[in-house]
Amino acid sequence: MVVPLNTWVLISNFKLAYNLLRRPDGTFNRHLAEFLDRKVPANAIPVDGVFSFDVLIDRGTSLLSRIYRPATAEEPLPNVAELEKPVTDEVVPVVIFFHGGSFAHSSANSAIYDTLCRRLVGLCKAVVVSVNYRRAPENRYPCAYDDGWTALKWVNSRPWLQSKKDSKVHIYLAGDSSGGNIVHHVALRAMESGIDVLGNILLNPMFGGQERTESEERLDGKYFVTLRDRDWYWRAYLPEGENRDHHACNPFGPNGRSLEGIRFPKSLVVVAGLDLIQDWQLAYVEGLKKAGQEVKLLYMEQATIGFYLLPNNNHFHTIMDEISKFVASDC
């Protein structure tokens, strides 16, 4: 039951920093958060076959996204005008990625997420669009979902992202932690509005509920995460006065809606065995199954949160393989 030393240092550092940022009164030290967050700029010069550029999707909300594309052999150095050149393959998956951070931390240009998105490009032979959604507590529910929805509409309407086979954009939604939660809710909106999403990928998605579950009590404070901080983030994201049975937090709870009969995308859900909220994540999987939806669960017994950030453990490689297969199965 160990994690590699550098992973431990990384995640402990985050835990420490995050403790500095959350105030007991529910406010957040945003300046210090931005100061401490390690960011990387977009890079139109391919590194390991991937280049990136930032696009302002919505001026009104300053909604930025970072787009990652594979560099092709013929055009090793894309210039300014060619960043939005049409994709050329028959089928090109477009993965819309929502970074984690419990709705309050991180950005699309955070180093850890930039690295992860770059990996996804090669893994899925996809274009990745990482959405810099508005964060809590300054922007509560439903801002993050609204931004996700805006990004989805934007991606769906880009001619240059259409696959040659059917002149449609082949969209997947992916996210970790709060990003996983956003994936679910944006997919719901997509289904209601007739935009096709081919698949949902949820890595350690952030769900919860009012009751205390067995895993929460057993693992509280044991592997970097405490119940207290989970509660803080929900209070920061959910509308004031709401509790954790709000449907945003607990989609299959007392205030949730049934997905029976709805055309919901197939889902790949990754749960870490040392994550204290796993009971909620497993309940989510059950909820999908009960509603007759296609879902594959990957339960990584010995994994802690954040295991997918550094490629130094077996769980990492296992789920990367599964993600690759999940996306490739439609090609």
Partner 1 sequence: MPLYDSASSSAGSSSGSSSSSSSSKPPPPSQQQNIDGLLAGAGYKVRSSELQQVAQRLERLETAMGSSPADFSQLASDAILYNPSDLAFLVDSLLSEFAQPPTCSSEFIAGPVNNQKAVNNAWATAELHTPQAQQNITSEQQSLNHQLTVVTAVEEDSGIRLVHMLMTCAECVQRGDFPLATSLIDDMQGLLARVNTVCGIGKVAGHFIDALSRRIYRGIGGGSVDGGASTFENEILYHHFYEACPYLKFAHFTTNQAILEAFDGHDCVHVVDFNLMHGLQWPALIQALALRPGGPPLLRLTGIGPPSPDGRDSLREIGIRLAELARSVNVRFAFRGVAASRLEDVKPWMLQVNPKEAVAVNSIMQLHRLLGSDPTRKPPIETVLSWIQHLNPKILTVVEQEANHNQPEFLDRFTEALYYYSTMFDSLEACTGQPEKALAEIYIQREIVNVVSCEGSARAERHEPLAKWRRRLSGAGFRPLPLGSNAFKQASMLLTLFSAEGYSVEEDEGCLTLGWHSRPLIAASAWQAVREARSRVTWAG
Task: Report the catalytic residues.
Answer: 177
Q: How far is CA 146 from CA 61, 162, 172, in A?
A: 10, 23, 17
Judged by CB under 8 A, the stretch of 98-106, 108-116, 263-271, 322-330 that binds partner 1 is: 108-116
Contact status, residue 248 vs residue 185, Cβ threshold 8 Å:
yes
Residue with tokens 């996700």: 148
163: which DSSP letter?
Answer: B
Pick the closer one to partner 1 by CB: 103 or 252.
Answer: 103
Taking CB under 8 A as the rule, does residue 314 contact partner 1?
no
DSSP 7-70: HHHHHHHHHHHHHHHB-TTS-B-HHHHHHHS-B----SS-BTTEEEEEEEEETTTTEEEEEEEE
Binding mask 257-296 for partner 1 (x = CB under 8 A): ----------------------------------------
What is the separation, in whole angstroms, between the first and last Cα of the chain? 38
Q: Is 139 in the site for partner 1 (CB under 8 A)?
A: yes
The region of 91-99, 103-111, 161-169, 286-294 touching partner 1 under the rule CB under 8 A is 103-111
41 forms part of the interface with partner 1 (CB under 8 A): yes
Nearest to 281 by CA among 290, 269, 289: 269
Please state the closest distance from residue 299 (CB atom) to partner 1, in A: 20
Q: Which single residue is written with the structure tokens 């139109």?
A: 44
Distance CA 233, CA 184 (A): 18
By CB under 8 A, residue 301 contacts partner 1: no
Q: Which among 111-119, 171-179, 239-247, 261-269 is the span making contact with partner 1, rule CB under 8 A? A: 111-119
Among 91, 297, 310, 331, binds partner 1 (CB under 8 A): 310
Matching residue, tokens 């790949």: 268
Give bridge partners of residue 296 from the DSSP assignment. Answer: 268
Where does this chain touch partner 1 (CB under 8 A) — which range of 33-41, 90-98, 123-131, 208-216? Answer: 33-41
Tell me the Cα Rg of the chain: 19
| Residues in region 47-66 near partner 1 by CB under 8 A | 47-49, 54, 56, 59-62, 64, 66
Q: Residues interacting with partner 1, by CB under 8 A? A: 1-10, 12-13, 15-16, 19-24, 29-32, 34-36, 38-42, 45-49, 54, 56, 59-62, 64, 66, 71, 76, 79-81, 84, 109-112, 115, 132, 134, 138-139, 223, 304, 309-312
